[in-house]
Amino acid sequence: MNFKNNLHFFIIISCLSFFASCKTYYISIESFKQQFQGLDSSNLKEITTQGPLGGQTKYKTTPIDSIFCVDKNGQPVVLTNSPSIEIRFTDNHQKKSIFYFDRITVDSTSVTGVQSRIISSIRKTIPLNTIQKIEVQNGKKKYRYVQ
C-alpha cells in the first residue's frame, strides 16, 4: 500500500473506532424519575474532577453511582457514573438538550443541567412533562473523579 491508501485506511479505522466506542443507551422517563426519586439538594455530595489538562474542579452532584438503562435491543445495561457520561433529552418539539449526567438535578417538575465543563454557569432547565426521549452516552472525554 502507498501512503495515500495507508492514510485512507487509518482514517476509516479511526472513524469506525470512534463511532463504535460511543454507544448510546436509553432510559425511559419512568425509570429516570425512579432513579432520581427522593434525591434533592439536601442529598448532594461534593466531588472533585480532574480534566485532561490536569485542572481540578469541585462541585456538588447527585449521589448516583450506577445508571440503569437499556441498549438499542432493549437489553438492560448498567453504566458506572463518571464525569464523561452525557445525557441527551429530546422534547416534544424534537429539540435536544445535552448535559453532563453528574451535573443534573431533578425535582418534581423539571430537570436542570450544566451543559459545559469549562463554563459551568451555562445551565438549562427542561420541564419533565415535555421530555419524549432520554439517551445516555459515554462521551469518552478525559475527565475523571479524584479522591
Sequence letter at residue 109? T
Instruction: Please give the pLDDT value at position 20.
Output: 44
Does residue 49 contact residue 33 with C-beta atoms inside 8 Å?
A: no
Using pLDDT thresholds of 50, 70 and 90, give the confidence band for residue 121: confident
Instruction: Please give the pLDDT value at position 1.
Output: 52
Instruction: Please give the pLDDT value at position 5.
Output: 53
Structure-model confidence comparison of residues 19 and 64, the more confident one: 64
DSSP run (H or E) holding 124 = strand 123-127
